Structure 1
Amino acid sequence: MGKNKIKKLVSISLAMLTVLSFTACGSSSKKTDTATLKDVSFPLKETANLKMLTSAPSISTQDPNERLIFQRLEKETNVHIDWTCYTDDQFPDKKNLALSKKDTLPDVVFNAGMNNNDLLRYSKQGVIIPVEDLIAKDMPNLSKILEAKPEYKKMITAPDGHIYSFPWIEELGSGKEAIQAVGDIPWINKKWLDELGLQVPKTTDELITVLKAFRDKHPEGKTDVIPMSFIINNGDQDPAILLGAFGLGDNGDHYLVNNDKKVVYSTVQDGYKEGIKYLNKLQAEGLVDQEAFTQKWDTFVAKGKNDRYGMFFTWDKANVAVNKEDYIPLPALAGPNGNVNVPRSNGYGFDLGRCVVTSANKNLELTAKWIDKLYDPLQSVQDNWGTYGDEKSKNVFELTADKTLKHLPLGTASPWEVRANQFVGGPAVILNDYYGKYTTSPDDAQERLDILHKTYVKDMKAEYNYPPVFMTQEDIEALTQYETAVKAFTERKKAEWILNGGVDEEWSSYLEEMDKLGLPKILEIKQKYLDAYFAK
């Protein structure tokens, strides 16, 4: 074969590969140019098309149109979605690349994952558009929710008065009773306590006694016991909750709100210093997992599945423990001065930038009315968790005779894996009053809510936590700059002090460095928005 022919074939092959490489999962061969529609009413008489960018878990189908929820929506609306879909881990980079090309923008970014700064930046660039007029004119379901819950309208409204995104909201309890109020639950091995004739510890000193017994008396004849394990500075896997015995305590982002409605930074409080000294004492006594300062999630879980832990920290014990029935939540401990406190997290069932409309969208009324269907209560519940009647995978729900959704028992199956095969994510709202009216509460969520109510809420001294607020681009950029330096420094010192001690000797210079890195400016910005939140 001649060189020119070979070059021609290679060129054709490369061209085909290039085309294929830009054809992501879930794309469709249906016609995608839809005339601008007015006075939209579903189902449409003729099929219309919208182009959307989204993500999906890697363990599930990568073609959204294979999901029963979307198949039903297409049948109800006669709107076909041409999806470009990437796995969750690839999506942030792919999304940024897609939004950098204004001539090929999708109509909608469905699971947008945009924060405060992203929304303002992309709106300024003309990539996404404001949607408050669409909400008022074409979205009765969302409008009704925002009218009934004005706090959410406040959360999604930018300082310039515009709304740039459609939110995701999941209420499971509220205030101190919200499911996110505590993330880093300490799970203690009750089976080992019983075997060794020990009571559940009530004080920090009693916990030391128990952990020493786990270490020395070899419950179940084990010689590889790890009295206490965690992953330092890793959100729900961090032992921050124990520091509540010494004062205000600590949480994942280190912001606490006192009962005078003032923002404080947990890691510069005297009580924090005393708590760190306590954790260093546990470390010095050989009661802490030596890998707690370096291990990743897989290693942490593997040791739990090998039944080595006397106590560990995480959101759901079932994700770590091989026999989850062996573990109970450790109640808040009293410190040396009798202080008992459960520090609250700043977690909310709220995602500001879940879905956005781009400037390329020429069918705004159609888009708004399609998205508004996702805010119908029964639809939101399915979008969030999964559906019923799926013959290809395990169902999350049963549709009852009175047209409500009843969660099916998961048995030994992982809640995440079951839900990942059915749910679609995207914009949705599930309010507390939906439970018992449109759906049941998920079993795993209800179990957690019961734990919080019975074990932790009574010891939460803080009446407030820091809410989601919408900052100006200038403030969010300044905050990000300062936070990056402050958080890295304080978390490095936390790990060093627990491992090696020295917090007393370094405390004064540490506080000076925190000020130099910008902590006062951080608190000034955070306080400004907290004051505005309470003022409204």
Structure 2
Amino acid sequence: MKQKILKSLLISTFALGTLAACSSNKASDTSAKADNEFKITTVRWSDWGDDFTKGYLEEAEKNSGIDVDWDVYVSSDWGDKKSVLLAGGDLPDAFLGSNVFSDVEIAQNQSLFVPLENLIDENMPNLSAILKKEPKIKAMITSPDGHIYSLPKKLPMRPLIANQLFINKKWLDQLGLEMPETYEDFIKVLTAFKEKDANGNGDVNDEIPYGAGNVDQTFSFILPFNNRLGADNTYELSLKGDKPVYLRTEQSYKDGIKWMHEAYKKGLIDTELYTQDESMSVAKRMDKEVARVGVSAGWTADATFGLHADEYVALTPVKGPDGNRYVFSDPEHYNYARNELLITTKCSDPSALLKWADQFYADDASIQTFYGSFDIATEKTDTGYTVLPPKNGKSADEWAWINSLRDFGPKYVGDDFNSKVKIDTTQGDGLKLQLDKEINQYALPAFPNVTYSQDELIKLSSIYVDINSYVKQMASKWVVEGGIDNEWDEYVKQLEAMGLKDFMKIHNDAYKRYQEIAD
């Protein structure tokens, strides 16, 4: 096994020329490589070193009789490098990780990738069995042309619920308030947060009842009106009655915005909600002196409120006007993905690579490629697995990234897998899964991870740029100034003029194709 960690790239004409020259030299090296040697390019969020290639990945190479030359890039540099690589044609044998290329990039460069459907049947018994067991995975990886160009994953230890609302429990206790049960109760609590010295510092004007968090600030607030986003919010679609809908044209959205405007008018929402940048909202949530925000959305309290995290608890979803509780849930996007391994036309033996990758679709492999190898970051026990405590002062999440492929690469676990894993529930994944247990009963299906043709993706990108800009502009206007009742009909007409019907037809067609395979 060999590794090459790329830490930086010079973005200049000289650098591009140098890269082109290097590509030429590498091409000659590739021709001389051994038959069992494969170059795999992957992208990491940060420069965590090459420990992730040790342990299980070395074992997998040995078991399959191949030698992987890991070509590793940091994500901040990859955007510049990949255009040069694709244009120059000096391709590796494979790309690993769904963060390497988007669906659009893969569709635009489809001729560079090997169709895998027949090769999977011939060389991947583990994955073949999985595709029969869970046809929705096959639907997710099948392109509109009928081919499969990439391998999937199903992650272990992932929640059904993503970002959720957290409320300052200390404020509730100091003001003698109960946890809100309904959307009307929620407004009463926010009103108390505004009118009283909730944080107890003597200043009744420094509290922000509802502030921006780590997910869309509008949809976080109007969620009780059944405005459910999934994990992939690219097009702000939802499923209602097994039908794809664009949330920003739904009656539930209109009603939610009206309700949000009333709250804004009463001073219950941060006045800078739509004008501040992320650093400003973070500074408010993580004020060094005192907690200033009563309610906000995030992954966990510690990730959202920093030093004040111990004051916050998860807010049980409040009942909306229809009496139901809603959450941002998405069983598929949080656990499943495609594009985890793409084999290029430069690979002389795709079958050998697929046999290597098929090993990853097993429990022992999946726990190690997600948290780290046995005796390093995980341990196999008589009843399952234990995730070992992080070392060297690292957080649980960072320790996992250092020692594994983590979110990326082929892997698969069954629905009962998580119950076999012992993990610290006070931080990282363990903490999130504890939170998930409290509210995942309210999870509903989200718009699935469908595939689009290149033509569809081109049309979507053309249509949605204008639509997305317009709807967000109108949302901020209506929340701050009101007027949605008077302007709604004209708003819908404007969206139709921008191509809303074509936009929805593309999504409906993609959803229909998905269902035909998944059912």
Classify the TM-score, shorter chain: 0.7 to 0.9
Encode CA deviations 1:323-380: one digit per residue, 9 max, x unaligned: 4332222223344x45434155453422211211111111223222222222232112
Q: Which residue of 1 aligns with 2:77?
A: 90
- Cα deviation for residue 436 of structure 1 reads 4.3
- Cα deviation for residue 31 of structure 1 reads 8.5
Q: Which residue of 1 aligns with 2:140?
A: 155
Partners of 2:18 and 2:38 in 1: CA distance: 20
Q: Which residue of 2 aligns with 1:310?
A: 294
Encode CA deviations 1:254-298: one digit per residue, 9 max, x unaligned: 212122x22222111223122112222222222222333244444
Partners of 1:227 and 1:255 in 2: CA distance: 28
- Cα deviation for residue 303 of structure 1 reads 2.9
Is 1:51 aligned with 2:36?
no
Picking from 195, 198, 223, the partner of 2:174 is 195
Q: TM-score, normalised by structure 2?
A: 0.83
Is 1:211 aligned with 2:190?
yes
Partners of 1:363 and 1:403 in 2: CA distance: 38
Encode CA deviations 1:406-459: one digit per residue, 9 max, x unaligned: 12356996332222211123222233233345x44674445444544433634x
Q: Which residue of 2 aligns with 1:368?
A: 354
**Structure 1 SS opposite 2:337:** strand
**Structure 2 SS opposite 1:331:** coil
List alignment gaps of at least 5 residues for structure 1. 1-13, 37-47, 174-178
Cα 1:196/1:50, change in 2 over 3 Å: same
Encode CA deviations 1:164-184: one digit per residue, 9 max, x unaligned: 1112222557xxxxx24x433
Q: Which residue of 2 aligns with 1:406?
A: 386
Q: TM-score, normalised by structure 1?
A: 0.80
* Equivalent pair of 2:171/2:198 in contact (CA under 8 Å): yes
Partners of 1:257 and 1:290 in 2: CA distance: 32
* Equivalent pair of 1:332/1:456 in contact (CA under 8 Å): no
Which structure has the larger Rg?
1
- Cα deviation for residue 312 of structure 1 reads 0.7
* Equivalent pair of 1:211/1:287 in contact (CA under 8 Å): yes
* Equivalent pair of 1:54/1:83 in contact (CA under 8 Å): yes
Is 1:100 aligned with 2:87?
yes
Greater alpha carbon shift after TM alignment, 164-173 vs 185-194: 164-173
- Cα deviation for residue 118 of structure 1 reads 3.1
Cα 1:66/1:145, change in 2 over 3 Å: closer
Partners of 1:169 and 1:92 in 2: CA distance: 26
* Equivalent pair of 2:317/2:327 in contact (CA under 8 Å): no
Is 1:426 aligned with 2:409?
yes
Partners of 1:146 and 1:166 in 2: CA distance: 11
* Equivalent pair of 1:172/1:432 in contact (CA under 8 Å): no
Greater alpha carbon shift after TM alignment, 378-387 vs 186-195: 378-387
Q: Which residue of 2 aligns with 1:9?
A: none
Identity %: 26
- Cα deviation for residue 507 of structure 1 reads 1.4
**Structure 1 SS opposite 2:441:** helix
Q: Which residue of 2 aligns with 1:519?
A: 500
- Cα deviation for residue 300 of structure 1 reads 3.1
- Cα deviation for residue 480 of structure 1 reads 2.8
Picking from 228, 235, 238, the partner of 1:256 is 238
Partners of 2:165 and 2:193 in 1: CA distance: 16
Cα 1:68/1:19, change in 2 over 3 Å: farther
**Structure 2 SS opposite 1:230:** coil
AA aligned to 2:211 is S
Picking from 151, 156, 168, the partner of 2:153 is 168
* Equivalent pair of 1:157/1:470 in contact (CA under 8 Å): yes
* Equivalent pair of 2:52/2:372 in contact (CA under 8 Å): no
- Cα deviation for residue 186 of structure 1 reads 0.9
Cα 1:67/1:53, change in 2 over 3 Å: same
Partners of 1:83 and 1:55 in 2: CA distance: 10
* Equivalent pair of 2:361/2:411 in contact (CA under 8 Å): yes
Output the aligned Cα RMSD: 3.3
- Cα deviation for residue 474 of structure 1 reads 2.2
Is 1:127 aligned with 2:112?
yes
Partners of 2:98 and 2:83 in 1: CA distance: 10
Cα 1:247/1:166, change in 2 over 3 Å: closer
Greater alpha carbon shift after TM alignment, 52-61 vs 524-533: 524-533
Partners of 1:76 and 1:296 in 2: CA distance: 50
Partners of 1:382 and 1:129 in 2: CA distance: 28
**Structure 2 SS opposite 1:435:** helix
List alignment gaps of at least 5 residues for structure 2. 1-12
Partners of 1:23 and 1:426 in 2: CA distance: 27
**Structure 2 SS opposite 1:55:** strand
Is 1:268 aligned with 2:260?
no
- Cα deviation for residue 64 of structure 1 reads 6.4
Partners of 1:301 and 1:489 in 2: CA distance: 26
Greater alpha carbon shift after TM alignment, 63-72 vs 162-171: 63-72
Is 1:457 aligned with 2:441?
yes
* Equivalent pair of 2:42/2:97 in contact (CA under 8 Å): yes
Q: Which residue of 2 aligns with 1:117?
A: 104
Is 1:329 aligned with 2:311?
no
Is 1:485 aligned with 2:466?
yes
Partners of 1:227 and 1:244 in 2: CA distance: 17
* Equivalent pair of 1:184/1:239 in contact (CA under 8 Å): no
Q: Which residue of 2 aligns with 1:238?
A: 217
Cα 1:512/1:345, change in 2 over 3 Å: farther
- Cα deviation for residue 158 of structure 1 reads 1.8
**Structure 2 SS opposite 1:100:** helix
* Equivalent pair of 1:191/1:326 in contact (CA under 8 Å): yes
- Cα deviation for residue 60 of structure 1 reads 1.1
**Structure 2 SS opposite 1:206:** helix
AA aligned to 1:317 is A
* Equivalent pair of 1:249/1:342 in contact (CA under 8 Å): yes
AA aligned to 1:426 is G
- Cα deviation for residue 514 of structure 1 reads 1.1
